Amino acid sequence: MSVQLNHTIVYAHGGVASAKFWAELLGLPAPTRFGPFWVVATQNDVSLDFLDTEQEVSSQHYAFLISEAEFDAVFDRIRTRGLQYWADPSLSKPGQINHGSGGRGVYFRDPNGHLLEVLTRPYGS
For residue range 21-57, list pLDDT tens digits in order: 999 999 999 999 999 999 999 999 999 999 999 999 9
Q: pLDDT tier at 9 (50, 70, 90 boundaries)? A: very high
CA dist., res. 98 & res. 45, Å (int): 27
Whole-number pLDDT of residue 50? 98
Q: Which strands, in side-by-side order, build the sheet including 105-109?
A: 61-65, 115-119, 105-109, 85-86
Q: How many helices (H) and strands (E) in the chain?
A: 2, 8
Q: What domains can be seen in the chain, in order of their start residue?
A: 7-119 (3.10.180.10)
CA dist., res. 15 & res. 119, Å (int): 25
Per-residue pLDDT for 1 more than 90? no
Whole-number pLDDT of residue 125? 86
CA dist., res. 38 & res. 32, Å (int): 6
Residues in the chain: 125
Contact 95, 106 (CB under 8 A): no
Per-residue pLDDT for 62 more than 90? yes
Average pLDDT, the chain: 97
CA dist., res. 120 & res. 125, Å (int): 10
The stretch 83-97 carries a mean pLDDT of 98
Per-residue pLDDT for 107 more than 90? yes
Per-residue pLDDT for 106 more than 80? yes
Instruction: For residue 92, report the phi and psi dihedrals to the nearest 5 degrees.
Output: -100, -5
